Amino acid sequence: MHTKNEYFSILILLISLILGLSMVEANAESRNDNEAFSAAVQAVKAGDYSRALTLFEQQANKAKHDAQYNTAVLLQAGKGRPRSYPDALYWGWLAQLGGIEEAEDIANDMLDILTEDDVRAVRERVDKNLQSRLQNGEINAISQFADYHLKMLEEPDYDTAYIWYSIAVALNIPDMIDRRDDTESEIEAKELARLQIEARELFEKYKFAPFNSEKVGGVNDS
């Protein structure tokens, strides 16, 4: 299991990377988010972990994956609020789905500690979070929802993952073709037509806007 010092070293490293990215031109909302993130960073440096956690959590609830990771770090360490391993797993998993590789270490450590019932409850929260974002038309949630069904369930749900990877490919989201095709190889051929119909129905139901790299881009929104 990783030590608290290791997690805080990773946190400071990630903070440095994010501050570098914040120099990139952004719209007003992005600038506000960067300012909030910077305020959280300053709170960490000042030892005001309660304020830092509040600010990071506000950004985490906006699906800012760097903030989700930092929230998980603080909750795992019990800084700013008493320790909560279920909450650390929740935010760690969401950060991992958002492309923060370091978050996998926190998630794995929490999985070693928590009971099956605890983990099942966290899965339900993650699923609810992702489905809410899909309902709101968040295109980033599509691949994350598919990844969740492959990587974070007790047994991979290839059918659901295939449906959502298929939607991602249709919307021209990068790097999704191989994921769709790899998942397809795990499914019986006779089932594919049915799943493709489901994918088309969901595609038409949600009416996602096509992928726009400039609109979707930003701080760790991979």
Q: So where are the chain's domains?
A: 4-114, 117-216
Residue 37: how many other CB atoms lie within 10 Å: 24
Measured CA to CA, the distance from residue 198 to residue 202 in angstroms comes to 6
- pLDDT value of position 98: 97
Residue 8: predicted pLDDT: 62
Q: What is the pLDDT of residues 3-25, one digit of tens each?
A: 666 666 666 546 544 545 544 44
Contact 124, 13 (CB under 8 A): no
Would you state the CATH architecture of domain 4-114? Answer: Alpha Horseshoe (1.25)
pLDDT for position 85: 98
pLDDT in the model for residue 152: 96
Euclidean distance between CA atoms 96 and 105, whole angstroms: 9
Q: What is the pLDDT of residue 220?
A: 36
Chain segment 161-202, per-residue pLDDT in tens: 999 999 999 999 999 999 999 999 999 999 999 999 999 999
Regions in the chain scoring below 50 on pLDDT: 13, 16-17, 19, 22-26, 216-222
Q: What pLDDT, on the 0 to 100 scale, is given for residue 222?
A: 32
pLDDT at 221: 35
Q: Phi, psi at residue 213, to the nearest 5°?
A: -60, -35
